[in-house]
Amino acid sequence: MAVKTIADLGDLRGKRVLVRSDFNVPLDGETITDDGRIRASLPTLSRLVDAGARVVVTAHLGRPKGAPDPQYSLAPVAKRLGELLGQDVALASDVVGPSAQETVAALGDGQVALLENVRFDARETSKVDAEREELAGELAALAEAFVSDGFGVVHRKQASVYDVAKLLPAAAGELVLKEVQALSKATESPERPYVVVLGGSKVSDKLGVIANLLTKADRLVIGGGMLFTFLAAQGHSVGSSLLEEDQIETVKGYLATAAERGVEIVLPTDIEAADSFAADASHRTVPADAIPDGTMGLDIGPESAARFASKVADGKTVVWNGPMGVFEFPEFAAGTRAVAQALVDATANGGFTIVGGGDSAAAVRLLGFDEAGFSHISTGGGASLEFLEGKELPGLAVLGA
> Which residues are known binding-site members?
22-24, 37, 60-63, 119, 156, 206, 297, 328, 357-360
Ramachandran angles phi, psi of 148, nearest 5°: -90, 115
Out of 224, 381, 382, 395, pick the active-site residue. 382
Q: Are 148 and 171 in contact (CB under 8 A)?
A: yes
Pick the catalytic residue: 200, 223, 322, 358?
358
Q: Identify the active-site residue in 20, 37, 157, 178.
A: 37
Cβ neighbors of 42 (< 8 A, separation 6 or more) are 84, 85
The stretches of 161-226 forming alpha helices (DSSP H) are 174-187, 207-213
Cα–Cα distance between 37 and 334 in angstroms, integer? Answer: 25
132 is catalytic: no
Helical H runs in 141-206? Answer: 174-187
Contact (Cβ atoms closer than 8 angstroms) between residue 197 and residue 217: no
Is 157 designated active site?
Answer: no
The annotated binding site for (2R)-3-phosphoglycerate is made up of 37, 119, 156
Catalytic residue among 39, 202, 216, 316: 202
Catalytic (active site) residue 373: no
Q: Say if residues 154 and 392 touch (Cβ distance below 8 Å).
A: no
Q: Using DSSP, state whether 82 is helix, strand or coil.
A: helix
Binding residues for ATP: 206, 297, 328, 357-360
Question: Does residue 322 have an active-site annotation?
Answer: no
Provide DSSP, 3-60.
B-BGGGG---TT-EEEEE------EETTEES--HHHHHTHHHHHHHHHTT-EEEEE--
Whether the CB-CB separation of 156 and 323 falls below 8 Å is answered with no
DSSP 372: G
How far is residue 217's CA from residue 229's CA, in Å, rounded to a whole number? 21
φ, ψ at 42 (rounded to 5°)? -65, -40
DSSP 8-state secondary structure symbol assigned to residue 163: I
Distance from C-alpha of 82 to C-alpha of 222, rounded to nearest angstrom: 41
The bridge status of strand 264-266 relative to strand 31-32 is unpaired
Name the residues annotated as catalytic: 37, 202, 358, 382
